[in-house]
Chain A
Amino acid sequence: MKVEYINSFYKATKDVFKLMLDIDPERKDLKVLDDMACSREVNVLLGVTGNLKGSVLFGFTKDMALEMIKIMSGMEMDKIDSFASSALGEVGNIIGGNALTNLSENNYICDIVPPQIFVGEYKSFSLASDKGLLLSLDTPIGEFDINVFLKD
């Protein structure tokens, strides 16, 4: 698991947040993970195939996820329904697409599997001894995580 994998997703996230939400996320902790588990309430899971295989999980608090949709739509949101899930999934998809462009600059050619949204705690155990990386980011509307489990 190389740091450039997570950097590609970090950079893509920063760009997309800036553009869609006018928010500049600040990098906080980077931790090594044994399993992909997220205690956040709203999770967006992206599958990656190609030269790199695995998954990337974005974990948000419910309040932050709702605030993101509110910023985009200009409308109050009070629940993660299919409108909010679908918009968050599309944001994940766009970040994923941008991250793939960043990865292709390092000669990794990959594809994204359409995102899945999980409301509630997410837990999935990785196989063998693969480790993942968790990057926490801070924004004025809350903290969120990017979990990256990729191998070549």
Chain B
Amino acid sequence: MWKDSYRVGVELIDEQHFELFKRVSDFTRVIRSNENWEDRLEKVKETMSFMQEYVIVHFDDEEVYQEQINYPDIEKHKAAHAKFREGINEYVELFEKEGLSEEKIQEFGGKLMAWLIMHVGKMDQKIGEYAKSKEGQA
């Protein structure tokens, strides 16, 4: 899932992105495997709680970095993060209320994969481009 072209050029952000892709990739493999659903549930639960925690840490770190470099699109970026967090929380609430059905987990997995690729592959690239352009001016 991860491609080198997704690198932003900021070490901390790249490390966290790499970890996010790794987790989402593992998660996708687990939910797509043919093993008994009950046996896969543990991994699914583990990923859900990881995503909830790690996404907050990562988004916070990324936003702090954007503040440090006076990134002009920070508000737009924060709004995209907020929307993603909200999206994860909606699924978490749904899973708490209705339990973890395979159907809904598959739906969540598909969305998560597409969103992560697009967000890191496009929106986050602009942070790197801006940081580089600033270095050029310094």
- Residues of A whose CB lies within 8 Å of any CB of B are 16, 19-20, 69, 72-75, 81-91, 94
**Cβ B121 vs Cβ A87 within 8 A:** no
Given the known interface contacts A72-B1, A74-B1, A74-B25, the answer about A82 and B118 at a Cβ–Cβ threshold of 8 Å is no
**Cβ A84 vs Cβ B118 within 8 A:** no
**Cβ B110 vs Cβ A82 within 8 A:** yes
Number of interface residues of B (CB under 8 A): 21
Which B residue's beta carbon lies closest to that of A90? B114
Is B51 engaged at the interface, CB distance under 8 Å to the other chain? no
B58-89 contacts to A, CB under 8 A, are none
B59–chain A nearest beta-carbon distance, Å: 19
**Cβ A75 vs Cβ B32 within 8 A:** yes
22 chain-A/chain-B pairs, Cβ below 8 angstroms: A19-B121, A19-B122, A20-B114, A20-B118, A72-B117, A82-B103, A82-B104, A82-B107, A83-B28, A83-B31, A83-B32, A83-B106, A83-B109, A83-B110, A85-B107, A86-B109, A87-B110, A87-B113, A87-B114, A89-B110, A89-B111, A91-B114
Number of A-B contacts (CB under 8 A): 62
- Interface flags, B103-138, vs A, CB<8A=1, else 0: 110111111011101100110000000000000000
Chain B residues contacting A86 (CB-CB under 8 Å) are 106-111, 114
Chain B residues contacting A72 (CB-CB under 8 Å) are 1, 113-114, 117
**Cβ A82 vs Cβ B106 within 8 A:** yes
Is B43 engaged at the interface, CB distance under 8 Å to the other chain? no
Is B45 engaged at the interface, CB distance under 8 Å to the other chain? no
Chain B residues contacting A75 (CB-CB under 8 Å) are 28-29, 32
Chain B residues contacting A69 (CB-CB under 8 Å) are 110
Q: How far is the CA of A116 from the CA of B108 in the complex (A)?
A: 15
Partner of B118, one of A81, A88, A94: A94
Q: How far is the CA of A82 from the CA of B103 in the complex (A)?
A: 6
Chain A residues contacting B118 (CB-CB under 8 Å) are 16, 19-20, 90, 94
B37–chain A nearest beta-carbon distance, Å: 13
Chain B residues contacting A87 (CB-CB under 8 Å) are 110-111, 113-114
Which A residue's beta carbon lies closest to that of B28? A73
